[in-house]
Structures are given as structure tokens and as C-alpha cells.
Homo-oligomer: A and B are copies of this chain.
């Protein structure tokens, strides 16, 4: 079997590349070239039949990942499928199944069977559940788990192969130590065994497995900063250098690569962080977790991190891993998933607009035209979250006739600036028609830059009931 990277290098435009080109409104040959050069990845395990292929790369629409999965055995496969459905409904471009309890194989294979979006995992989580103590992990067990998950159809895997034994002393003076789960497990293992990171030692063997199934490797940043105090420190950048080396080694095996990034970074250091990764890793797609621009707001970290994510994507990050309001505090529920995805779709789209992605701003223009025309139904329909926009409006003006009103309760009819402005124009030279001018159907924008978000070829997922409450789905009754 051949990976997308190998096909691209050989000059072949695959079906996946064709589909991606269609979704992104780009030329298929451009897609092929970006994949061939390692500047973009199409995570698409040969065994993931339900997948609607998508692409992650600096030159394409910015993507958003949602973490699903459980951290307690109570949550079984059905509950997990509901989380998948919710995440896809609210616009996740990929999901990571981070389950650490229960019947992991069933949860994972069910997710893959139903998911139209790439499914990522962190194999060391499962490996740890198969031993009494993390110190009992062996290189062979890690390889076994990776191979089994690859066979099950996982599209990308986070491997913290860049955390080296010699990096660990660099974390000693940190405020928050090692905050990556995989990173902390491997650090402890290395200290107890006095040996090098097995994922680094066996990286070539791992790449052979990944290449066989076309699993994209997501090089984990086990030493990412967990606080502003630790941002951009020697430990983070030492690991990044190793990730650059591993990027090239994976490419040598024909494996597609993305690289994970922080975490917690002050606003003024984010662009530098992105540019450094792009330089060190030869342009491999950067997949960042936020970053959070302040540590002071637990309960609002979807916001602290969406600010950083916008800046990161503007500077060249290709995919944003969402953060929910429960970050640092507890396991998110469905409403947290919704809030986190909304914040991150905003970050991704705003960055695409700022970066001048073809047609990206058409969506904004269409919403603003509907707003100025007081076409409330169309404004709701086009909104990032139609159900919420309508519900907020209807809290004060629920009656149907207000859907054509030339005001809302924010300013009232007497003080609505757009109503006053239009009256003045009518009294003067008259106005052009207020119907929408922007035709989203013929927009050059990538699919993720047009409403509704979360549109995938998802026949299989549509077989199961949508867990999102009915009145949060529709733009109008």
C-alpha cells in the first residue's frame, strides 16, 4: 500500500486529493504538490471507509480538532458516538479519541466506523492501561498498540517521540513542569529505566507501521509549556529541534507528518513560535493547542486560547486543537463542546479572512448584508451557530413578526442605527435594494469557510440520532 505522500511524490493525484481539491476550491495539482512537499497532510487510513477526506496545511483553510473520549469507565461506546456526533455537528474537522477507560477497542472501532472526519489517537494512553504501572511499558508493547490501532483505521497518531532523556533536566526550574500526559509518562519511564525514550529509539520501526496503513504521525510536544512562565523555554525548543529531525526521518519513510505545538504562550511570542516551528520542521503543518494567552481565567479558557489560536493561525498554524471552558477544571459536557468549537471556528475563520484565503470573507459579507437588510431568518441561517443566534434574539422578542422587524431589543426601534441610516438614505437619493449580493454557492471559499459548518459526506453518521437538541439545530422553527 502507498501513502498519500508517496503517491504525491510519484505524481499521482489520488481520489482523496481530488475530493480535497473540491472541498477547498483549489486545483488538484496544487493539492498534490503541497502533499508531495510535506507542506500539507491528508490523514486517511486505508481502512477508514466512512472518511470524507480533508487536508491540513498552511495554504488551506485552517482546521479545528475536537478531543472526545472519556476519562472514566462509566462512558461506553454509545455515549462516545454521541460525542462524535456533537463534535461533527458543531464543526470539528477532525476528532481525537482520548479515551482512557472502558472498552477502548470497541469505542475506537465504532468511532472510526461512523466518523466522516479523521480520527486521531494517542496510543500510549491505551498502552498504559495494559500494564499495572507505567514503568512496566515496553517498546514492544508500544509498537503492538500502534500496529493494532493502525489496523483499526486510525488516521493520525500523536507520538511523543521528541522528548529525550537529555531534555528532562531543562524542565527542572519550570513553574508547571511537564503538562503533556504522554510527555509526563515517558519522562517518568526514562527516569526509572535510565534509558532513552522508546518512541525515539524505535522511531524507524514505528514509521514502517504508519506507512503501511498511511497513518499520519502527529509529533507530540511532550515538553510544551503549561504556563506563561514556561513558554519559549530551553526545554520546549530543545524538543522542537528533535521534532525537526523526526519530521525528516518520517518523510524518508513516506509517512505524512504534522507537528504539535503549545499550550500557554503570551500574545507577543506566538508568531515567533509558529515561524520557528515552520523553519525547524521545514514547513510541516503546525497543529497547536490554543495557545492560551493568560493563565488567570480557568472557566474561560476557550476564550483565552481562542485569542492565541487566532494569532497562531494568522501566523501560519494549520490546525487548532480546541479547548473547552472546562479546561483545567473537569471533563467537558456537550454544551462545553459546543462552546469550545464555536470559539475555535471563530479563530480559524478569522485567521483565514486575515490571511486573505480566497473567498473566505464572503461568509462575513453575506451575514452583514442579511443584518443590514433586517433579514433575521437569513442572519440566523448563516450564523456560525444558528440555534444560539436565534435563541438569543428570541429571549426578548420571540413573536414571529419580529423576524421582519427593523430593530432588536438591544437598541430598540427609536435608536436602531441601521433603521435610522436607511430612513435617511430613503429620504435622500433612495437606496439600492437590500437583498443579499454575496452568492455563497458560487464563492471561491473552502467549504469550511461557508455555512453551515461541519458539512461532510457523513452517510454513516447520519444513521444514528443527532444528540443535539432540536431547537439548537434549526435556524428557524
Contact: A266 with B409, CB < 8 Å? no
The complex places the Cα of A72 from the Cα of B333 at a distance, in Å, of 36
Q: Which of B183, B350, B392 is in CB contact (< 8 Å) with A325? A: B392
Shortest distance between the CB of A405 and any CB in chain B (Å): 12
Contact: B392 with A298, CB < 8 Å? yes
Contact: A300 with B185, CB < 8 Å? no
Interface 9-mer from A111-119, A174-182, A206-214: A174-182
A12 at the binding interface (Cβ < 8 Å): no
Q: Which of B330, B345, B371, B412 is in CB contact (< 8 Å) with A328? A: B371
The complex places the Cα of A188 from the Cα of B416 at a distance, in Å, of 13
Contact: B409 with A300, CB < 8 Å? no
A368 at the binding interface (Cβ < 8 Å): yes
A401 at the binding interface (Cβ < 8 Å): no
Interface centre among A191, A228, A295 (most CB of B within 10 A): A295
The complex places the Cα of A171 from the Cα of B277 at a distance, in Å, of 43
Chain B residue numbers with a CB within 8 Å of A462 are: none
Contacts A191-B427, A294-B350, A343-B303 known; A365 to B410 CB distance under 8 Å? no
Chain B residue numbers with a CB within 8 Å of A389 are: 298-299, 329
Chain B residue numbers with a CB within 8 Å of A392 are: 298-299, 325-326, 329-330
Smallest Cβ-Cβ distance to A376: which chain B residue:
B329
Mark each residue of chain A from 402 to 419: 1 if its CB lies under 8 Å from any CB of chain B, else 0. 000000111110111110
Chain B residue numbers with a CB within 8 Å of A298 are: 367, 371, 379-380, 383, 389, 392-393
Contact: B299 with A385, CB < 8 Å? yes
SS class, residues of chain A in contact with chain B: helix
Chain B residue numbers with a CB within 8 Å of A415 are: 71, 100, 125, 128, 181
Contact: B176 with A361, CB < 8 Å? no
The complex places the Cα of A306 from the Cα of B310 at a distance, in Å, of 11
Q: Which of B177, B188, B417 is in CB contact (< 8 Å) with A418? A: B177
Contacts A175-B365, A368-B227 known; A330 to B393 CB distance under 8 Å? yes
Shortest distance between the CB of A443 and any CB in chain B (Å): 13
The complex places the Cα of A326 from the Cα of B392 at a distance, in Å, of 6
Contact: B364 with A330, CB < 8 Å? no
Contact: B424 with A187, CB < 8 Å? yes
Contact: B296 with A412, CB < 8 Å? no
Contacts A71-B415, A307-B306, A350-B304 known; A363 to B328 CB distance under 8 Å? no
The complex places the Cα of A422 from the Cα of B226 at a distance, in Å, of 14
The complex places the Cα of A369 from the Cα of B393 at a distance, in Å, of 42
A466 at the binding interface (Cβ < 8 Å): no
A48 at the binding interface (Cβ < 8 Å): no
Contacts A228-B353, A421-B179 known; A346 to B294 CB distance under 8 Å? yes
CB within 8 Å of B: which A338-353 residues = 342-343, 345-347, 349-351, 353
Q: Which of B187, B293, B331 is in CB contact (< 8 Å) with A350? A: B293
16 contacts between A and B (CB under 8 A): A100-B414, A176-B368, A176-B371, A178-B420, A178-B421, A191-B427, A229-B365, A268-B356, A294-B350, A296-B384, A297-B385, A303-B303, A303-B342, A307-B310, A307-B347, A332-B410
The 10 A-B residue pairs with the shortest CB-CB distance in the complex, in nearest-first order = A227-B368, A267-B354, A188-B424, A268-B354, A299-B388, A295-B364, A184-B420, A184-B417, A293-B350, A71-B412
Not counting A101-B412, A300-B385, a sample of 9 additional A-B residue pairs whose C-beta atoms are within 8 angstroms of each other reads A176-B371, A177-B418, A178-B421, A180-B417, A188-B424, A297-B342, A297-B383, A303-B346, A326-B392
